[in-house]
Amino acid sequence: MSRCADASQLAIETEEDRDDPRLAVDLLRKATVDGHGDAFLYEGTSSEKVTVDAVLADEKFMQGHEFVAERIDGQVATVLEEVGMREDELVRVPVLRRGYT
pLDDT at 18 over 70: no
Beta-carbon contacts of 95 under 8 Å, excluding residues fewer than 6 positions away, are 20, 21, 23, 24
Q: Is the pTM of this model over 0.85?
A: no
**Gap between the Cα atoms of 58 and 54, Å rounded:** 6
pLDDT band of residue 19 (cuts 50, 70, 90) is low
Q: What is the pLDDT of residues 27-81, one digit of tens each?
A: 999 999 999 999 998 878 777 788 999 999 999 989 988 888 898 889 889 989 9
* SS3 of residue 41 by DSSP: strand
Q: Which helix (H) or strand (E) holds 46?
A: none
Asked whether residue 25 carries a pLDDT value surpassing 50, the answer given is: yes
Q: Which amino acid is at 54?
A: A
Q: Calculate the CA 52 to chain-centre distance.
A: 12
